[in-house]
Amino acid sequence: MVANSAKADAFISKHYNDLNGKWGKQNGIETIISQYASAKSKELAKLVQAELVKAHSRTDRGVKTDIQQSGINIAVLRNTNMPAILT
């Protein structure tokens, strides 16, 4: 993984989901962490989630683990050597 090779301090990947350019009934913001997340990843997720909700004025869908959100263990979160989140 490039982030590990670069010895990054944090891995943050921001994603947008929409349907034909419109927000669906699932509108809102959530931040995803590994089910094995470190305390630093959990804290990073909490802080970023709060700021994204404030900046975008969307429903706060909370911080969730990869298993809670998608039912699968997300490799990019699991295999990083630094705090890692997906938004």
- Three-state SS string over the chain comes to CHHHHCCCCCEEECCCCCECCECCCCCCEEEEECCCCCHHHHHHHHHHHHHHHHHHCCCEEEEEEHHHHHCCCCHHHHCCCCCEEEC
Per-residue pLDDT tens over the stretch 27-69: 789 999 999 999 999 999 999 999 999 998 888 999 999 999 8
Q: What is the pTM of this model?
A: 0.85
